[in-house]
Structure formats: structure tokens, C-alpha cells
Structure 1
């Protein structure tokens, strides 16, 4: 028997009539635009029995049909995008063959704790729902490769997510994140990180040490700077619409330049070259060091880890604290920054197991020092003949390379290294700067 699905256009005298097969009407839904008539149980059962992938998008489901529990244990993928689900039933764990679960565009506020038992899941899409926090149970989905949480109301990430050792794609765009935890960079398989349209003010320094990451997208945030050190995996970084960023570090600028040689990358991030002339004095924090360029009316803000900076004319002794942190670091980690004469950048980082235990002993005595060491140097000295790490003190040179108008900041472990760099920096125009209180 044929039933009708009638779309009523509110402002026009038109009717589009589509025929669907049905045995009866379960209910009608009316919102001044269309009348919806559900698919009957017999057809749902037939669909479940014949398929391993269920495409149930746009069906206005308010809950998962109970019939799926009994007959759907063979199902591998379920698409439930743009429905009206407010949650998932606890019996969803009985669908033990489901590897891909797509819940984009529903009204889900909470997830059942039983979800943590679905260890077979490799893809979980919870984008555009009503989540205010990420359920801790997600941290137990050890086989997840793709976790999509865009367009929710998230303000933080649970530490339990550090267990997602197979995660390759993490999408957090359109939330309310102000900070990302340092441990996010310890996810060994992470390749793509999308945190567009949040309220981030900085990126974790440890992100420079992420071994596999190829794309970092942080557009439309409140960033004032990118990490200063070269990235281990030399990722493409998209950071458009962060109007407070007006400089890049010397190694990061060179790494991004390799990506921008491709037209498609250049069109995405064309402001890498052309943003250094704006003064944002009223938008800077009170705690971080700020430098003013004398001739350019430019004010830049350095990362909060830097506590003291010197210009090339200051022959000041490095503090014992900074020297001690550097010594512990070089004995525990092999971290090098190789800036080739052709401006290629190569970063190497590995843990030296024999000394690593000593680093963890520091945690009990001085948690601040431990965090500095474990999260990595803020930069490796930019002098190509030196591999000293830098944590809280640095000699700073600010300039422009010939191929860009973007300001570039180079950090050095001592005055001598900065002087050596100046002798070789013919392609760079160097600017004088002063610290701003």
C-alpha cells in the first residue's frame, strides 16, 4: 500500500509528493514545513537483516529502535546523522561488531558509561551535539582512530584520553577550549588536530615533539604566538584569523615555507607572509614578556615560559637555574635542531632511558622544573653549531628574511651564539628592540 510524504512549502502554493512504501503510520511530525511518516518496523527489520552498514541519517529518530538490539549484532557501521537523539541506550554495547558510529547533528548531552566497553570502535563522530564535557568513558576506547567532537560546548579534555594510543584524527573545532593539555602531544599516532573556532591563547610547547602530526589547524582562536621551536614532524599549520599573531620563530617560519611552496597550502594560509605590521598593545597579557620594535611600531609577546631575554649587546651570565635545567635535559633527551644552509629544518628528539628515571625524581622536589623538562625546550639554540636547549632565558634576535614581510624571532642560548648567527644572517634584516613593562 502506498503512503504519502507531503512537503509543504510555507510561502508558496507548491506541493512535492514523494511515494514511500509503508504498512501503517507510526506518528506524524509537523513543523509548518513538512509532514513526516516513519518507516514501519517490518521495513527496519528487513534493512537490518540485509545490511552490515545502516544509513539512518535524516530519519528524525528520537531513540534507537529496540529491534536493532535483537537483530543487529552483525552491523559494522551505523550512520545516525541529523536525527533527534538525546542519548544512547545502555544496550548499545551489545552491538559488538560496530566499528564506526556517526552521531553528527543530534541533541546528545550525555553518553552511557557502558560505551567504554565498545573497544571495537575505530571511528566515533559526536560533532554538533550538546556535550559540555567529554565523558571519561571515551578514554577507554583504546582502538579509536578518529574522534570527532566539533561544535559542542567543551571547555576541557579529560586526562583519561591519554590512553587513546591509536588515535590519528582529533577534531575539536567550534567548542569553548581555552587551553590544550600538554599530554595531547604524547598521543603516538596523532596525525591531524583541528581546534578551529575556540578560545585558545597558546598551544602546548610539547606539540613540537609530536612524532606523527602532519596537520594542525588552529584558525579563529586568540593565539598570540605559535610555539617557537622547530616541529619534529614539520606539520602544515593553519592559523588564519588569529589576529594577535604577528611573528613566527625562525625555524617554524622555514618549516612553513616548505609547505607554502605548494599553491593549495598557500591559499589556505596566505597570511604567513603578510602579517607583522599591527600593534596590539591593548590585547596582551600582563605576565608575558613583550618586546617593542623601535622603528616599526610593533609590539610582540613571547611565550610565558621565557622569564628573561637579552639583546645581542648584553653579555650577561646565564642563571644557574637555567644552566641546571639545560644540563638535566641534555642528559635525558637527545633533542637537536638542524638548520641546513639551504634553510631546510630537521628536528630530532629521543629519550635516553638511562637518565630518564632521574627526571621523574625531580617531580617530587620541584614540579615546575619537572614540567619544563618533560614538556621540552622552548627552543633549541638557533646557532647551527650549537645544540643547547633553551627554557627560561634567551638572547633574542628579531628580523625579516628576504622572501617575507613576516617578523621572525630567533632564540640563542648565549650572546656568542647570537653574534655568530649575525655574521651569517645576510638574508635577514635585523631590528633593534626594547622590553616593555
Structure 2
């Protein structure tokens, strides 16, 4: 692994203090062993097919779903495929994988590490939450015949540690607010660390624009952008009427990355109650429906729209109990440069760097070719090799 360029280092004073994932650890996961990846405001993983760059994003999204309370089986339907190649079973026939992350925020860097058994039965067999070298939560599989793990969390009261069973198919850190009373300084510390991790993990939007589903007019009323961006036209109608400054910036991006003259990015309401998006060409030229654009142009516009909006416009489960000012959205974009030409990739990377500089949005993506983003100010490119 080679870091080609580096933005502001995670944990630096200039970085926003909203909870953010600043490091991913793939200790034993698919093709990765002992891999540690620091994350900046914009981090792009580069490499050829099979280099493991998509695995990094898949692991990040898996942690995000676990942080949101999803069951282990729903997050890892093919858990055996996550076990590193050539990893043999132990004497009990067990095989698994190990992943983790670090979340920086108001309480400082908090580490979360998971050991997951994939075979013969899927379960979390070990979880550790630490902050400043102090262990705040540990879980361990004590009785394989039960669907629970033995958990112990820091109390620092008359009883230094509290022990209780937790389900083996859920992230224990996400369950702590339901189990910890918060009556001692130690318990409050545990709750603060757990909340920091959960807020960061839940503040994720995985985006994979599908041009084939973005070409037709869409029904009005669903104005939250979905993962595949198939309702792009309706979201553009919303930004056109409610977010004029951001919409103008998106139109400027269209001028930079779409073929031919572009004067405006508009929407048209059709007689059947649907809406379609148009590129205004200006003068005597007719407007071009977005459905006539190439795959690269559609992906380019969709990713630009994601970066220029936020949780209120994206179809994601927001952390409603935490003020938006205390959250930092992370966009996951596997195939950030898929179908894009060099100019589009450079323009999109520059937009990401500018948007992410204020700390409210972060981007983690993959690119097949890091040449167009290498050296870009504010962008970290991690080369995973062939």
C-alpha cells in the first residue's frame, strides 16, 4: 500500500469535532490482512480489479449497518466469503474475520474492534471498545450453545465492572445506551464513547448511481435521493425550488462535465404527474432530457448532487436525536470514476475536496485509476496496487 497524497491528518486541531471515522482496520478480511487505512476528508482507494479496494468500502458499510442496529446475518449474508483466503479452521472447525475502526470526536479517539465467527455459525465472538488505552467494553463467547456473549463494561463505581449477556448477532456498542444506567463517571464515559461511535457509523450514505434507472421520468413526491439515484429528476425539482445556491452550483458542474453548451439545469412537470430533468442549451438549441445523456454524464451529475446536498435530501436513517451540527455525513462511493472521463473525474474530485473541507461531509470512494486525482489538493489517494 502506498499513500500518494495526504490531506489534513485525522485528529489534527483543524479537523471538525463531529464524530468521524478516521481509521479502518481490516485485520483479517477477504484479501486484507493487517491492513490499517487512515481516512481524511476525501479518501479514494485506487487499484486494479481484485486489489481489494471495494472490500474496504463494503466493510465500512457493514460497520455502519451494525451501528444502526442491523442483525449480523442481514449485514453479512455471505459471511464465509469474508474469511481471508487460505484461512484454515481451528480444532473446533471455526473460521472467521476481524475488522475495526477508530472514531474521533469530543471524547477523543475511540477504537472499536470486532471478531466475527463465520463458520460453523455466524456470530460476533469478540468485541472491544477502548479509549485512551482504557477498555470500556469487552465481549467474549463463553458458552457456544447459547446465542449470547458475556459482556463487561466499565463502571468505576462500587463495582468496577458490570457483567451481563448480550446477543451475539448485534453490535454490543450500539446496545449500551439501553443497558448502561449512566449513574457513575465511568458509566457516563462508556455512554459517551459508545454514542460517538454509533453517531459516526450511522451518518453514512452509500451511493452507487445506476444510469440505466435514471433515464425515465419519475413520479413526484419522493424527493429523498435513493442509493441508485433513480429518482434524480424529482430531487432536482426539490433543489431547484428550495436550494437555489446549491442548484446553481450543480448547474455549473453540468457545464464543466457534460458535452455541448449547458446554460441551465431545469426540470419539467409532465401531464401524467411525472417529472423529468433537462439540460438547458440556450439560444435556439432545444433542451436535452437527462435521459439522453451518457452513463458517465449521469453518474457525474448524480455524484455531484450527493455532495452538494446532505442528510435531509438523501434517503438515509438520520440520527434525529443528535443535532445536525454535531454530525458529519460520510458518503461511500464505490466506483467513483466509473464511466467518467479524466475531466469529469478531476472536476468531481475538486468539488469533493471543496465541499468536504468544512468537515460536515466526508467522502470515501474507490477509483480504478488514481492518475486523475493524484496530487489534488485536499484528496488522499491510497494505492492498493495491482
Report TM bin, short chain: under 0.3
Q: Which TM-score applies when normalising by structure 1? A: 0.20
Q: Which TM-score applies when normalising by structure 2? A: 0.22
* Structure (1/2) with the larger strand percentage: 2
Computing the radius of gyration from Cα coordinates, the structure with the larger value is 1
- Answer 1 or 2: higher relative contact order, Cα 8 Å, separation at least 6: 2
